[in-house]
Structure formats: C-alpha cells, structure tokens
Amino acid sequence: MKGNYDLVIIGGGPAGLAAAVAAYDSGVEDILILEREPILGGILNQCIHNGFGLTRFKESLSGPEYAARFISEVEKRSITVLTNTAVLSLDKGKLVTAMNAEEGVFTVQAKAVILAMGCRERSRGALNVAGSRAAGVYSAGTAQKYVNVFGYMPGKRVVILGSGDIGLIMARRMTLEGAKVLAVCEIMPQTSGLKRNIAQCLDDFGIPLYLNHTVTKIEGDERVTGVVVSKVDENRKPIAGTEIHFDCDTVLFSVGLIPENELTKGAGIELSRGTRGAVVTQSRETSESGVFACGNVLQVHDLVDFVSEEAEIAGVSAARYILGGEVKRDAVEVKNGKNILYVCPQLIDKSVGGKVKLFFRVTDTFKAPTVTVRCGNGAVQTKKLKVAVPGEMQSIVLSEETVRGLNGSVEVLVEVDQ
Amino acid sequence: MYDVAVIGSGVIGGLIFRKLTEYKLSVCLLEKAGDVCMGASKANSGIVHAGFDALPGTLKAKFNVEGNLMMKSVADELGVKYRENGSLVVAFCEDEVIKLKELASRGEQNGVKGIEIIGRERLKEMEPNISDEAVGALFAPTGGIICPYGLALAAIGNAMDNGGELKTDFEVVSIEKEEGGFTVKSANGECVTSRAVVNCAGLGGGKIAAMIGDEIRIGARKGEYLLLDRESGSAVNHTLFFTPTEKGKGILVSPTVDGNVILGPTAKEQADGNVLTSDEGLAFVSKKAGEMLKELPLYNTITSFAGVRAYSERHDFIIEESESVSGFFHCIGIESPGLTASPAIAKYVVEELMAGRYGWERNPSFNGRRRPDYFFKDLTAEQKNAVIAKDPSFGRTVCRCEQVTEGEILQAIRENPPARDIDGVKRRTRSGMGRCQGGFCQPYVAQLIARERGIPIEKVTKSGGKSYILMGVTK
Ligand SMILES: Cc1cc2nc3c(=O)[nH]c(=O)nc-3n(C[C@H](O)[C@H](O)[C@H](O)COP(=O)(O)OP(=O)(O)OC[C@H]3O[C@@H](n4cnc5c(N)ncnc54)[C@H](O)[C@@H]3O)c2cc1C
C-alpha cells in the first residue's frame, strides 16, 4: 500500500465524494478516500426516501441515487478508495493513521487532508430522560437503518421525541410499514425539521405534532410499555399536571445532530462552539493549514445539495493548496450578531479572492426579517427574508468587491423591522 | 454433586467463585439473570475506597482496608482496568475541617496509609477545577477507581476457564438441606446438589436466607448517577467526596477508569430493586456536582443510570456460616465498600471459613491470569498488527465512539462468560458505551450475536428475557 498521497479524504459520504471529484478536476489526481463502512455514500445509503437533489439536479432523487451519481464520478476518475477502513488518528503533520482487516494499522502521509466524517445523532442520554432502560429506545437514524437497510421493524407503536428531519421521515416510514405513530413531541414552540417534511410526513398521515411538549418518563421493564409526555413552560421546564400518557413499545429520539470531530480535536484543530465543527475560512480551511473540512462534520446542513456545494469548495481549495503551496492568510473574523446562532465560515481570508457566501442559523422564528452584515459601523450587505426559522439554514453573499473592502471583523445580525 | 454452589454472580459471588477454583473442587455459580453481574455490582461508583469511612472494628473496615491492598494485584492478574487516582474529601467550611480530622484519625485506626489534611492552596493545585468555596480536604492517596462489572466478569471468566460452571437464568426458589449437602432448585425446575452453599445474592440475600430458615432483613437504597463524555475527562483528577455531615454524605465526582466523569449517587430507600431514574434524583446530582466544581460540563452528559444498595439492619457486612444450618454461608448486606472489599471477603470466606474445615487441596493447574490484551484500542500499532495478522476481524471497527473491533465483539460472545445480548456485549467490550450510545453499532452487534448464537436477529435482546430489540420484518 502506498504510503503517501497528495490528498487524503476522510469519509466517503456525499461530502467526501464531491470534494474528491472537485479536487481531481482542479488538477490533483493522487487522491485517497478512506471510508469505514463497506460501501461509499455515507448516511445517504439508508435514506431511501425521495427529495434529494432538488436544488442541484432539479429532480427528486432517493439518497442512494444521489450518492450513486457521485460514486460513478469518483469511479470514472479512478480515485483510490479504501472502504471498511477506520481512521484512528490525524496528527499535525497530516499523517493519517488508519486500520482495516487487510492492511492492519497503517499510516499515510498527505500533503493536504479533507475532513468529511459527517455527524452523529444526539442520544437519549444527552437529554437525561428519566425512567427505565428497557429495549425500544432508539435514535431515529438507528431505527432508519433497521428498517431500510436490514428490513426489520424496531417497533409497532411509536412516540417520537424531537421534530428533526430524520424523526419526521421515520414517522412516515414507520407508518407506511404498518406501525402506529402516536405523537411527535417537540420541546420548542417550533419544529426543527423542514416545513416540507412536516407537511409530507406528519400532516398527510394525520400524525399529531405536540409543540412545547417533551417526554418526561419512559416506562417498561424489558421492553418499553409507555411514555409520559408533559407540556413545558417558556423555560422548557415540564409543567406539573399536564402529563399525557401513551401506551407504546418504541420511543424514537430525533433531537439533533452533532458533527463528529474526534479526529479533528485529536489533531489540535480549533473548533467552533456554535457549529461544533472546525473554525474555517471561506475555503473551508481549518486552523491547520492544508487541512480542510466540509459537509456535516463542519456544520449540520439541512440538505445534501448544500453539502455537495460546500465540499466542492473544499476540494478546489485543497487542490489549490497542493499545487500552489501555502499562501499567507489575511483573515477577518465573522462574528455572530443579534439573533444569530452561528455563522460558517467563521473567518474570511482576503487573500483568497472571489465572493464569499456566509451560511447562518437564527436563534428563533422571525417573520420578514432583514439580515445585515456589518463591518465597523456600516452595513456592507443586507438581505430581506420572508421568514427565518432555526431549522432552516440561511445564507448571504458578499461580493468580491465587498470582501476586498473589509477593513476589520464583520458581524452578521438579523432584525425584524419595527 | 458439586462441592460448592455459589448463589449470585456479583463481585462477591464472582470473586468467591474464582477463589474456589484455586482448589480441587467442583463448583457452580447460580445466577437468576440472563447474564452475570446484573445487580449492585453492575451499577455503582466504581471507587476502591481507601478505608477511612467505616467505623473501626467493623467487618466493613477490616475488609475495606484489606481489599484495597489486594486490588492492584487482582486487577493486574485479571486484566481489569484499575487506577490509584487518590481520593479527596472536600471541606467547604471550618466545621467540616474538624470533621475531616475525625475521619483522618478513623482512617489511621483502620490502618489506612498516607492520609493527610491539606489546605486550600494544595487542593487547588491538585484539582484546578475545584469550587472556590472549598477550604481544604482530606487526601487519601490509596483511594482508586476500577471498572466494577469488569472485575466481576473477569473473575467469573477466569474461574470458568479453571473449571467452574456457570448457570444463568437460574433463579433459586428453594433450598433443601439433605444428608451430606443441599438441593438447590430454580424457578424453571432445574436442580443442583451441593455439599456447601454460599449465599451472595445481594438484594435477594434475605429471601435466600429465609429458604433455610434464617431471618435476615435486607433493605434497598437506590443511587442515581450521571455519566459525562470522555471529552470532559479532565474536569476532575481525584475522586472528590463531600464531607459527610448529619445532613448526609452528598455525592461524589470522579473520573472513571475509562476516562469518563461519574456524578452521584443519590441515596433513597425503596421497597424493591427497581433501577428507574427520576427527575428529582438526576436534578439533585447535577446540583450537588455543580457545588463541587467550578465548571461542570453537564452538556456533555451521555447517560444516566441507577443502582441499588443491599444493606442489612446490622449496618455491617454479614459474612458468616449460618448458625442454624451447617455448610451454608451468608455473604450478604454487602453495601459500600463491598466492591473494594470483594477480594478480601473472597479470601476470608474460602480460606478461613471453608478450606481448612473441609480439608480442600489446592488445584495445581489453576491459572489466575486472564488474557491481558482485553482492550485492543490501547495496544501499540505493532501489537495491533500482530493480532490482526492472526485474526483479521480485529481490523474491523464496529463501535466508532469507543473504537471497538469486530474481533473483540466476537471474543465477548465466544469466551467465558459468554455475552448473549446487546448489553452483555456492551459491558464486556464498551461497544455502545460511548457518546452515541450504540446508535451506530447496535445493528452490527445484533447481527454478530444472531450469527454466533445461530438465532434470528429478531430474537436478539437488549438485556435478556423479552427485551427484544426488533418486532418483526418490514412489509
Ligand atoms: C449506588 C451504589 C454505589 C456504590 N459504590 C461503591 C463504591 O464506590 N465502592 C465500593 O467499594 N462499593 C460500592 N458499592 C457497593 C458495591 O457495589 C456492592 O457492595 C457490591 O457490588 C455487592 O456485590 P454483591 O455481589 O454482594 O451483590 P450484587 O452485585 O447485587 O449481586 C447479587 C447477585 O445475586 C443474584 N441473585 C439474587 N437473587 C437470586 C436468586 N434467588 N437466585 C439466583 N441469583 C440471585 C442477582 O441477580 C445478582 O446478580 C456501591 C453500591 C451501590 C448500589
């Protein structure tokens, strides 16, 4: 096995695949993709529903179909892929240590690395729901894997906590498979999933959505037998006396995704508190030069189309780094202003050139708000939105000229006109 | 007929079982659950106490100090993770400092070595994240931490490798005293006969005692915990206790041997052995832990759980031969520091109470060492490659959070005591114990269990009985 590559990509999901293709097309052909699963495609392989690619391909594909388009592009370019291979660590000098059954533990020296490890689901434990530890409690993605990949039903009477997209998709999927979904409970006053999923996955099937409600207790000795759901007050604390009891055998949690940055941390790369991914420039370059990040390991995206877009930026940037060498940064910081949960990228590197698209999430629901990007005391860009909700990522573009003119840190904020 | 039947496979029964296999005997271990170590030994703080807490002259004090001294070599032989991280009992006011001095002198009477009272400065150096309200502490360098179920599993596995027999799903429901021994009957109607019986049934110890006519009441007191991600592992170095006062003992905050942080336990009386967690309990734990540390990374909680202490009204361990029935031994009412005391209790029961009396001979082929390379992830690259060269399944990672390989999972299912369900694999390998709590690996672990045991995946359980993880196939 070859001990060095120009570019090593960690993760063969949609982000890693698109990054590989983009880097190749930018002139770097010596690429290795490392993937721990037996096949490429990442989490898309278990997303057999439609709705992928509407933005990018203007057609509605299933997850595996969307992945297949990128896999065939990778194959056309004869990019080296190692599946069933887990990366164990990444060190500062871009030395990647990985392991598989054939090679054992081995190292690969890279000139540049792209992090594309994706994310994981928050578990029940993270929420501290009291009660029993009976069987029948799953994160929505695990249930999805059992149903779509293995062909087994994790349960028959289901309560879902959290209105994340995977939870909504699974509400529909389980219903179509003959299960009864009794309720979807969301602790917040608004859902965290996409509007189209609320309509297509809950409303169309008459599945009740309980906003401002949470699961306060899980019952059952061997298998779950029921849950208690309570209404919460404005501080999201359960209100006594509002308990509703459901007889169910299954509880699914769809309470958020967390970028999987253990390797990133291990390499000493700076992480953002907001995104829980690396702090990056618009090239998606991390605090370690020549190490890039894209897709859900960087920020949790709503749609795979945006993952591909971001991955292409990382791929092109990595190629530029490999072919042109390190360029001294001239970076300004991008700060979270009023009503902003996070902005990605967190840095704008003026040495890169070109326009910059800032992605952000808001903290609450806002009707007809204005987004402003401020530098010093003046607005450098504004944009009107119809509505902004935390569940849907927004973006605003700074033109090349605007970027060139930045003379200090910028701040993104969202306000509703009085 | 067995020479000895041990009832209950917690740390007490487990270590006694192992000790018995050091002799030329036929022994069996009877456990009502589907796996070993499903009682107090599964869910506790995992602290190897130094021994300053127990009242001088009690069995608790004696076996605590002796067990503490033995733990390092036992853990070493069995390949169980153990670390002597030292304990600190923290005082938050001058009255509590006085109390610390009492504890220190109690410790000295019990024979605990190295105890010191330290001031604020030294405490801050040792625990940078300690609350600013802390004024001093008692430092006991011999306090340690261990994986409690790891200890029981390894001891039982080692005993089985040395010829001991394990019977799970064997709930003892009656015991008949007969000529030369006992007939012990299970709920399924299975019988074993044995010359001697050791009652290590934890919470069930009172019921077992009643089966031979001894009346010993065993009470139940629950303790609830929170466990934080390894990412927060550096929040605390030593095991931190509150100074015990009239109002109670508070909770402890400690690293675990696996690098997590454990917070708890509460202490609440209850009628039965249920291990449900409660909102109040978990809220109490987070509140108290917040008083101990300056920064408490509660956002990094990965799970909560509860365990139940089995205590006797004597408020001391009951370790003795039944007064009424000869050949029947009780080891019950083993509340804290029972985990710490377990090797010493096993030694005492087997060597002092039984071996001489029955004239047992030592088993020359006994091998007390268990396979040492249990945690593959901790090996060097060269060592890993040597293992993978022999068995490629060690090259396949199944649990990404805890980096557990297929080889280790297969080993857990195949070797003694065999894992039969998802939680059994988890306790043996840590697969599913990390930050995603099995979200990714559970389907794969279920497949491996099904394949190895030759059962359909729908019959795979989370934790024995009817705790099936799946309910039929899709349309
Ligand atoms: C919350 C908590 C915190 C603790 N912290 C510590 C600590 O930090 N340090 C320390 O040293 N100690 C600690 N302890 C104490 C320690 O955990 C116990 O002393 C020890 O685990 C007791 O072991 P055991 O084998 O007696 O009981 P158990 O582990 O409960 O084992 C009893 C076994 O008997 C089986 N059984 C019961 N009835 C029957 C029957 N009829 N037939 C067959 N089998 C039966 C049960 O299923 C069980 O497996 C703590 C305990 C608790 C609960």
Where are the extended beta strands (E) located within B188-296? 191-199, 218-228, 239-242, 252-255, 261-264, 268-270
Could you identify the atom of ligand 1 that is nearest to the CA of residue B309?
53
Q: Is A325 a residue whose pLDDT tops 90?
A: no
Distance B153 CA to ligand 1 centre (A): 13
Q: How far is A192 from chain B (nearest CA, A)?
A: 19
Among A359, A352, A354, which Cα is nearest to A412's? A359
Q: Is the dihedral of CA B310, B315, B319, B320 positive or negative?
A: negative
The structure tokens listed for B36 are 């070993």
Q: Which residue, by CA, sits nearest to atom 21 of ligand 1?
A: B41
CA distance B97 to A139: 47
ipTM score assigned to the predicted complex: 0.92
Among A387, A390, A367, A381, which Cα is nearest to A412's? A381
Q: Average the pLDDT over A181-193 and give the result.
A: 93
Whether the bond into B141 is cis, omega within 30 of 0: no
> A299 touching B, CB under 8 A?
no
A-chain residues within 8 Å CB-CB of B464?
222
CA distance B443 to A328: 47
CA distance A43 to A12: 10
Cβ burial, residue B348 (10 Å; 0-12/13-18/19+): buried
- Report which residue type is found at A354: G
Q: What is the model's pLDDT at position A126?
A: 75
B-chain residues within 8 Å CB-CB of A132?
275-276
Looking only at the bridges linking them, the beta strands covering B2-7 and B47-48 are unpaired
Q: What is the CA radius of gyration of chain B?
A: 22
Q: What is the model's pLDDT at position A123?
A: 85
Q: Is A275 a residue whose pLDDT tops 80?
A: yes
Q: What is the model's pLDDT at position B245?
A: 86
Torsion angle of alpha carbons A177, A183, A189, A190, nearest 10°?
10
Q: Is A332 a residue whose pLDDT tops 70?
A: yes
Domains and CATH numbers, chain B: 85-142+219-309 (3.30.9.10), 376-459 (1.10.10)
Cβ within 8 Å of residue B433, ≥6 positions away: B258, B401, B402, B426
DSSP bridge partners of A271: A278
Cβ within 8 Å of residue B174, ≥6 positions away: B184, B185, B211
* Helical residues (DSSP H) of A348-408, grouped into ranges: 400-405
Q: Is A213 a residue whose pLDDT tops 70?
A: yes
CA distance B329 to B438: 40
B-chain residues within 8 Å CB-CB of A151?
473-474
Q: Which tens digits make up the pLDDT trace of A41-70?
A: 999 999 999 999 999 999 999 999 999 999
Torsion angle of alpha carbons B447, B452, B455, B458, nearest 10°?
-20
CA distance A294 to A18: 10
Q: Are A230 and A213 in contact (CB under 8 A)?
A: yes
Q: Is A319 a residue whose pLDDT tops 60?
A: yes
Distance B267 CA to ligand 1 centre (A): 15
Q: What is the model's pLDDT at position A192?
A: 86
Residue A405 — very low, low, confident or very high, per pLDDT cuts 50/70/90?
A: very high
Q: How far is A384 from chain B (nearest CA, A)?
A: 35
Q: How much of chain A, in percent, has pLDDT values that exceed 70?
A: 100
Looking only at the bridges linking them, the beta strands covering A250-253 and A180-186 are unpaired
Touching B: A residues 165-194, CB under 8 Å: 176-178
CA distance B296 to B229: 12
Residue A131 — very low, low, confident or very high, per pLDDT cuts 50/70/90?
A: confident
Three-class DSSP category at B25: coil
- Report which residue type is found at B113: K
B446 lines ligand 1 (CB under 6 A): no
Q: Which tens digits make up the pLDDT trace of A234-261?
A: 999 999 999 999 999 999 999 999 999 9
Q: Which residue, by CA, sits nearest to atom 35 of ligand 1?
A: B8
CA distance B318 to A125: 37
Q: What is the model's pLDDT at position B373?
A: 54
Residue A358 — very low, low, confident or very high, per pLDDT cuts 50/70/90?
A: very high
Residue A231 — very low, low, confident or very high, per pLDDT cuts 50/70/90?
A: very high
CA distance A306 to B155: 53
A-chain residues within 8 Å CB-CB of B304?
125, 128, 130
Q: Which tens digits make up the pLDDT trace of A103-128?
A: 999 999 999 999 999 999 988 877 87
CA distance B428 to B422: 10
Distance B148 CA to ligand 1 centre (A): 10
Q: Average the pLDDT over A196-221 and give the result.
A: 95
Q: What is the model's pLDDT at position B449?
A: 98
Digit-by-digit pLDDT tens for chain B (475 residues) are: 999 999 999 999 999 999 999 999 999 999 999 999 999 999 999 999 999 999 999 999 999 999 999 999 999 999 999 999 999 999 999 999 999 999 999 999 999 999 999 999 999 999 999 999 999 999 999 999 999 999 999 999 999 999 999 999 999 999 999 999 999 999 999 999 999 999 999 999 999 999 999 999 999 999 999 999 998 999 999 999 999 988 778 899 999 999 999 999 999 999 999 999 999 999 999 999 999 999 999 988 999 999 999 999 999 999 999 999 999 999 999 999 999 999 999 999 999 999 999 999 999 999 999 876 557 888 999 999 999 999 999 999 999 999 999 999 999 999 999 999 999 999 999 999 888 888 899 999 999 999 999 999 999 999 999 999 999 999 8
- Report which residue type is found at B429: T
Of A100, A130, A250, the CB nearest to B277: A130
CA distance A11 to B179: 68
The structure tokens listed for B236 are 């605390």
CA distance B183 to B191: 7
Tell me whether residues A152 and B457 touch, CB distance under 8 A.
Answer: yes
CA of residue B101 relative to chain centroid, distance = 30
Q: Average the pLDDT over A393-418 and give the result.
A: 94
